[in-house]
Structure 1
């Protein structure tokens, strides 16, 4: 069963409301951290901590697609603070790629941890639909595809890619060749 995503979801800011909800979990968890880690959910947080530490030490060396994107960003982004923000988002996304593709059993947390950890600065650039921020998010869709075994995420990666693609100019659409190929999306 494929979900029928509303085509206006991204353009009408519902996407950003969704991101805000995902990010809101960070504040909730931080406010009750000690209670969660000592209560009935403690095993889940212990496992999450182990997975997080394993994610941090995975090698991101064999990811030429990330190096290609990093090079495009370096050549086109003139503001050093904006470039730093994009590079940090890419560094963290590379860890997610390594965690997802080096693991046999993928969980939603393995994918969505990136949304939890990216900076507010990057989210603001994404909210402003800065082409480079959108392209980075386009790369994220490749790992969301790995969760499409869940009925509620079927078609989600292509839906996100289509929305991103529609907000980009021709040059930045070209930057999305690799993730589009990985998704098998035909537009």
Structure 2
């Protein structure tokens, strides 16, 4: 699970204990467990995925009912459930659809679905954040780290700045340029914030940047706007860099890249050369 080893007791003991009272959380724990078993035993992935889907549906139904009246008591299991639901969404992304010859082929719409889930849960629980930060999950919000960037995120920032400099001279309409420029600046700030507040900044960026996305940017992605898709490619590099150490992110980067390439206008392909090169070959020069 994400977060430092100091928080492992929370996931292993506190969350299951809350699950005994709040069944939606127990179903969510079982859904994640099934997905992880499917990752460990790929030959049985379909069977585990079925079990995960059943528990996931029950968890979502229970969460929806509980979300109608958030209280100081139930906001904690809702936070845990939404965190695990987020992980579930990322872990199942590479297996959303079956393409030609049986290959899995998620689309940009599947990316948007994950982002909408992330944004929705964040918005719903934002009003309870002070209570959550003082409760059993308080260690999640008070991680003590020595601020230090990483070569990967330094490279992403460098290429994002290059993209931002080129954006005004592209053929994108002015509305798209303004929105994507704003979201690019936001991603750069998000990277700096993650670097200063967590020992795993790439994972923090991957999981939480979508919480900040504007509805205008989401609509640009729905419309397959080339500038918006190009920015998505750079974000996907950060996600891809976590795959070796984070089971629920595996397959995300390459599948997102394929989805972007399928929808990106040919005249914009040069703009995503570096993200594609990194995602296809982790040994390239940063």
- Fold shared by both chains (TM-score > 0.5): yes
Shift of 1:130: 0.7
Shift of 1:15: 2.6
Specify the alignment match of 2:205 in structure 1. 110
Specify the alignment match of 2:65 in structure 1. none
Is structure 2 residue 128 aligned with structure 1 residue 32?
A: yes
Shift of 1:62: 9.3
Is structure 2 residue 255 aligned with structure 1 residue 143?
A: no
Specify the alignment match of 1:119 in structure 2. 214
Contact 2:220 2:228 in 1 (8 A): yes
Q: 1:85 aligns with which of 167, 176, 179?
A: 179
Q: How does 1:137-176 map to 2 (within 5 A)?
A: 137-148=232-243, 149-176=245-272
Distance change (3 Å), C-alpha of 1:62 and 1:38: closer
Contact 2:224 2:263 in 1 (8 A): yes
Is structure 2 residue 72 aligned with structure 1 residue 9?
A: no
Contact 2:202 2:241 in 1 (8 A): no
Gaps of 5+ in 2: 1-38, 43-90, 98-103, 282-286
Is structure 2 residue 169 aligned with structure 1 residue 75?
A: yes
1:89-135 Cα offsets, whole Å, 9 max, x none, are: 11122234456779764463233222111222111111221111011
Match of 1:176, SS state, is helix
Shift of 1:42: 2.1
Distance change (3 Å), C-alpha of 1:143 and 1:114: same
Specify the alignment match of 2:20 in structure 1. none
Contact 1:100 1:143 in 2 (8 A): no
Specify the alignment match of 1:66 in structure 2. 160
Q: Which of the two has greater helix per residue?
A: 2
Shift of 1:144: 0.4
Return the TM-score normalized by structure 2: 0.53
Return the TM-score normalized by structure 1: 0.77
Contact 2:118 2:210 in 1 (8 A): yes
Contact 2:203 2:242 in 1 (8 A): yes
Distance in 1 separating the partners of 2:156 and 2:134: 38
Gaps of 5+ in 1: none
| Alignment: residue pair count | 178
Match of 1:182, SS state, is helix
Distance in 2 separating the partners of 1:128 and 1:62: 25
Distance in 2 separating the partners of 1:101 and 1:82: 28
